[in-house]
Structure 1
Amino acid sequence: MPDRVVEFKSAAFPKYPNENEELVNDNCWGKRLAEYLRDHLPKHGVATGDILCEDWGWLVYVENADFPLWIGCGVMDEGDDDENAGDGDEEDDHSSHDDPGKYAMPPSTQPKLPKGVNEFIMHVNAEPGFLKRLFRKVDTAPAVERAERAIQDMMAAAPDAFQDVKWMDTSPKR
Structure 2
Amino acid sequence: MHTRVEFKSAAFPKYADEDAETVNPGRWGKRLAEFVRDNLPKHGVGTTDILCEDWGWLVNTDHKDFPVWIGCGPLDEVVDTENGPDIQPGQSPDGLIEFAIFVTAEPGFFQRVFKRVDTAPAVQRTVDALKSLIESTPEIIEPTWD
Match in the other structure for 2:51: 52
In 2, are the aligned partners of 1:81 and 1:115 still within 8 Å (CA)? no
Measure, in 2, the Cα distance between the counterparts of 1:43 and 1:148: 14
Shift in Å, 1:162: 1.0
Map 1:19-98 → 2, pairs under 5 A: 19-77=18-76, 80=80, 82-83=82-83
Shift in Å, 1:80: 4.0
Shift in Å, 1:114: 2.2
Measure, in 1, the Cα distance between the counterparts of 2:79 and 2:93: 5
Match in the other structure for 2:96: 117
Map 1:145-164 → 2, pairs under 5 A: 145-159=124-138, 161-164=139-142
TM-score (norm 2): 0.88
Asked if 1:12 corresponds to 2:11, the answer is: yes
Measure, in 1, the Cα distance between the counterparts of 2:82 and 2:10: 16
Asked if 1:127 corresponds to 2:106, the answer is: yes
Runs of 4+ in 1 over 3 A off after TM superposition: 78-84
In 1, are the aligned partners of 2:41 and 2:47 still within 8 Å (CA)? yes
Shift in Å, 1:5: 1.1
Match in the other structure for 2:87: none
Match in the other structure for 1:138: 117
Shift in Å, 1:27: 0.8
Question: Which residue identity is paired with 2:64?
Answer: A
Residue by residue over 1:48-80, the C-alpha shift from the partner in whole angstroms, topping out at 9 and shown as x without a partner, is 011000000000000011101100010113664
> Structure 1 residues 3-12 or 41-50, which shifts more?
3-12
Match in the other structure for 1:108: none
Specify every segment of 5 or more residues in structure 1 that has no aligned partner in the other structure, as ranges.
Answer: 85-111, 169-174
TM-score (norm 1): 0.75
Secondary structure (helix, strand or coil) at the match of 1:143 reads helix
Question: Which residue identity is paired with 1:69?
Answer: V
Which structure has more helix as a fraction of its residues?
2
Measure, in 2, the Cα distance between the counterparts of 1:50 and 1:120: 20
Measure, in 2, the Cα distance between the counterparts of 1:23 and 1:76: 16
Quote the RMSD (CA, aligned, Å). 1.9
In 2, are the aligned partners of 1:79 and 1:117 still within 8 Å (CA)? no
Shift in Å, 1:117: 1.2
Q: Which is higher, the Rg of structure 1 or of structure 2?
A: 1
Residues paired across the two proteins, number: 139
> Structure 1 residues 9-18 or 73-82, which shifts more?
73-82
Shift in Å, 1:113: 1.6
When residues 115 and 22 of structure 1 are mapped into structure 2, their CA distance, relative to the original with a 3 A threshold, is: farther
